[in-house]
Structure 1
Amino acid sequence: MLVVGTLVVGGLVWRFRRGLSVGIVVVVAAACQVPGVLHTPITSTDAYRYVWDGRVQLAGHSPYRYVPLDDALAKLRDPVLFPGLSPEQRSGVSGRSDDPSQSPVDDPRTRINRPGVPTIYPPVAEAYFAAVALFTPWSAGTLGLQIAAALIAIALTWLLAVQSPRWAALWGWSPIVVLEAGNAAHVDVLAALLITAAVITTARRPRLAAILLGAAGSVKLLPLLLLPAFRGRKPIVAVSTFIASYLPHLLAVGTLVLGFLPGYLNQEGFEDGSSRSAILALLLPPEARQLVAAALALVVAAVAFHRTRTDPIALTCCWLYGAALLIATPTYPWYGLPLIALAALARRPEWIAVPLAAYLAYASYGHDTRQGLIYLAAVVIVVTATTVRHRVVADSGLTGHPLPTNTGGRDETHRPRNLGRTRRAAP
């Protein structure tokens, strides 16, 4: 259904490309978010952890210090988050453990996933959770976060629509965005907003762009992979912003600020060498997979750094983020939300094949070969579309950049020199 819905949205965007306005795109995007907000989260239980982290912070505690089941926080329990454990009951848990083997993903007493380990989310994400919790009654559960995520998705639609209403619809009307923002309330939608704002502002306000990128990295770590696309002093400012966001928590809890990150990396196979990389798993043994994945990542980063001299930053960020997902092949589809925004900004809809592949891989959990083939199909789609576009552009005599170089501007084409009449490049 997601594949069909995405294709339908793509068809509508193409059909009404000349009749869309900023207002129409934003209003329809807002309407699209309503069904998701009215239903409890479907794709994951992450939103319950967000609610808990926000509540813990408002109570004056650090989510990096305590695990949700810890009896020290028993007074913060409610029937929504802990249907099987009242504040008066003892869970038997005291202290924290980062050993994933000692912490099952689910516990029947709570809706919070991994309730035996501390949070994994970086400080800006935690600040966002606390801000939403401040305005959300306990009885509302995840509703406050769902509304906040929907509003962020709508705000990002407007930001993209100011650049191009036609391409903004690719984000705002996407069934993936509806499912992972208004419904599942995944914090990745906030990262998508910050990344997009960083790309758009990088030419006129480079320092602000760098701060926004650093903040995005402090929502989810993945945006830091875009550093090679930002030239000059911007990467330094971005990394400084990222580090600065951790300092208050570092002073409060010390090394506990890492939360469940080490355990998560172990679960995903990054510590023992058997990392995800489902595509590489089709050809390589676990001991070689991590090394090859790291080498590929370095090559991609080097190419991105070189291409920023000539290519629009939106385009570089799009394929860089997409390539990172294809190398790591995470089974969590919501990781692709920033990629959808970047695909809309760069006018490269083929990259949406990657988050779509993540859904199919998510449904094929435990079938490693099938997951690898699914992601490989996404690679074929991206490479084929890119090749066809380059051939069309070469035949037309135009450049292949849909945006002015090194900006997030609004122009759709470049006019070649000495060309008698204007022709549009392939979208």
Structure 2
Amino acid sequence: MVVSAGAVVAAAGQWGPNGVLAVGTLAVAAIVWRFGRGLGVAAVVIVAGLCQVPGLLHAPITSTDAYRYVWDGRVQLAGHSPYAHVPLDDSLAQLRDPVLFPGLSPTQKSGVTGPPRVPTDPDALAKYSADDPRTRINRPLVPTIYPPVAQAYFTVVALFTPWSVGTLGLQIAAALLAIALTWLLAVQNPRWAALWGWSPIVALEAGNAAHVDVLAALLITAAVITAAKRPKLAAVFLGAAGSVKLLPLLLLPAFRTRRPIVALSTFIASYVPHILAVGTLVLGFLPGYLSQEGFDDGSSRSAILALLLPPEVRQIVAALLALTLAVLAFTRTRRDPLALTCCWLYGAALLIATPTYPWYGLPLIALAALAHRPEWLAVPIAAYLAYGSFGHDTRQGLIYLAAGVIVVSAITIRRRFVAESGLTAARSPANTGERDETHRPRDLGRAR
């Protein structure tokens, strides 16, 4: 195959920053593997804190989500619901400032009023979900998509953040959450905790981009760690994680003996105050997001399945795979450690859905560290490389497929190694009853 120089340059331009991120993640994993045996809890946590500092010195890079977080918190402090108003709504003009609205002052009219609309027509939906140069908030014509626990988090941070510092308050909060999760993992195993705390991905998405997925990762990890001794508390943590981002609810089958009803009750209870306040508007932009991702017409996004299947059957196959994984997780919970089950279940779900946004993989990094399964880092790394290839569906599918092959290969090699080690141990003299002639005590009487 002949590749032109222009194509190489174009690929480097798309993959450059994400390629550096991928190489950096692999380098951290290698360093931890080679030199991490003597690490202590304090050392891991301190270095994790230092890793967060550079991101705090720059505005969010990977997305503008943090500006929406700031707005949602500010709206709630003012006594309004981000589910019932869009950012450009003139009724909230008094909440505008030059950081979030550089092109629209509180005295200017946007022309947007009334309850939010989320149209179902693809063309109209694309128009409504487009950005506006007057504001840094993404999709300012649609309501928020973030669930209630995330909204509570935004509100608490907004309470302590001056308007003039923009996203810095959320960046600091996300960095502190990442450090707290590093400590939580380090108490279990400092060496593996470094896989999370020192990760360039975590540094980028916490201290810089302030993505709320860091909070979801912390709650998921707390749920897994507390599940054995305090199953009800673990279920509350899992339900709260689902109310930060919906994806953690996929782990419910793994918690089958650990109060999944409590988890669902926690999730539902978090919505009750908002339902009482705004009714069905509590769904926010979720219907629009699902429509844009193809879940309404059967052409759901799955970059790997898209390599082989037409859109009309892709969603069916994805649903069957997800159901199979759920059943497998439900049946294997008694045999495998919970952390391991959650790790492969979450990672496999990401490989099936291949979400557009790579920071969705943050909880998987924490679960990989907790389960001691570094091969699953291939999935979030692939997500960034695919993100750099946005618009090239086939290339994205191949990247994710390569990550899947890496994971399956690592699992196969590990199982063979364990099987061979077990067979060797079973054949050893200590287990077979045979006497080891090389270590048999000498018959001193016969020697004389």
d(CA) in 2 for partners of 1:15 and 1:309? 33
Q: Once the 2 structures are TM-superposed, how far is the Cα of residue 102 of structure 1 from its aligned partner?
A: 3.5
Pick from 39, 44, 58: which aligns with 1:39?
58
Residue identity matched to 2:48? A
Aligned to 1:360: 385
Question: 1:21-420 counterparts in 2 under 5 A?
Answer: 21-95=40-114, 96-99=116-119, 100-232=125-257, 234-397=259-422
d(CA) in 1 for partners of 2:201 and 2:98? 30
**Deviations 1:92-125 (CA, angstroms, capped at 9, x unpaired):** 1112111223414310000000000000000000
Q: Once the 2 structures are TM-superposed, how far is the Cα of residue 129 of structure 1 from its aligned partner?
A: 0.1
Change (3 A) 1:419 1:73: farther
**Deviations 1:392-423 (CA, angstroms, capped at 9, x unpaired):** 1111119xxxxxxxxxxxxxxxxxx9599xxx
Change (3 A) 1:127 1:418: farther
d(CA) in 2 for partners of 1:177 and 1:233? 29
d(CA) in 2 for partners of 1:47 and 1:340? 21
Conserved? CA contact 2:227–2:258, under 8 Å: no
d(CA) in 1 for partners of 2:432 and 2:283? 57
Q: Once the 2 structures are TM-superposed, how far is the Cα of residue 234 of structure 1 from its aligned partner?
A: 1.3
Unaligned stretches of 5+ residues in structure 1? 399-416, 421-427
**Deviations 1:243-297 (CA, angstroms, capped at 9, x unpaired):** 0000000000001000010011001111111111110000000000000000000
Q: Please give the secondary structure, in 1, of the residue aligned with 2:36.
A: coil
d(CA) in 2 for partners of 1:14 and 1:49? 38
Question: Which one is further off, 7-16 or 192-201?
Answer: 7-16
Aligned to 1:2: 21
d(CA) in 2 for partners of 1:46 and 1:419? 62
Could you state the TM-score of these two structures normalised by the residue count of structure 2?
0.88
Q: Please give the secondary structure, in 2, of the residue aligned with 1:18.
A: helix
Query: CA RMSD, aligned part only?
Result: 1.4
**Deviations 1:316-354 (CA, angstroms, capped at 9, x unpaired):** 000000000000001211000000000000000010110
Residue identity matched to 1:79? P
Q: Please give the secondary structure, in 2, of the residue aligned with 1:17.
A: helix
Residue identity matched to 2:359? W
d(CA) in 1 for partners of 2:170 and 2:52? 13
Q: Once the 2 structures are TM-superposed, how far is the Cα of residue 212 of structure 1 from its aligned partner?
A: 0.2
Conserved? CA contact 2:129–2:142, under 8 Å: no
Change (3 A) 1:76 1:292: same
Conserved? CA contact 1:20–1:166, under 8 Å: yes
d(CA) in 2 for partners of 1:324 and 1:33? 28
d(CA) in 1 for partners of 2:156 and 2:309? 45
Conserved? CA contact 1:69–1:91, under 8 Å: yes
Conserved? CA contact 2:148–2:270, under 8 Å: yes
d(CA) in 1 for partners of 2:431 and 2:180? 40
**Deviations 1:182-227 (CA, angstroms, capped at 9, x unpaired):** 1000000000000000000000000000000000000000000000
**Deviations 1:365-392 (CA, angstroms, capped at 9, x unpaired):** 1111011000000001000111111111
d(CA) in 2 for partners of 1:44 and 1:333? 11
Conserved? CA contact 1:171–1:340, under 8 Å: yes
Question: Which one is further off, 207-216 or 102-111?
Answer: 102-111
Conserved? CA contact 1:331–1:359, under 8 Å: no
Aligned to 2:39: 20
Residue identity matched to 1:124? V
Q: Once the 2 structures are TM-superposed, how far is the Cα of residue 232 of structure 1 from its aligned partner?
A: 2.6
- Quick check: which one's helix share is greater? 2
Change (3 A) 1:318 1:290: same
Conserved? CA contact 1:29–1:169, under 8 Å: yes
Q: Please give the secondary structure, in 2, of the residue aligned with 1:16.
A: helix
Residue identity matched to 1:53? D
Unaligned stretches of 5+ residues in structure 2? 1-19, 120-124, 424-429, 434-448
d(CA) in 2 for partners of 1:21 and 1:319? 27
Residue identity matched to 2:349? A
d(CA) in 1 for partners of 2:323 and 2:413? 27
Larger radius of gyration: 2
Conserved? CA contact 2:235–2:259, under 8 Å: yes
Aligned to 2:443: none
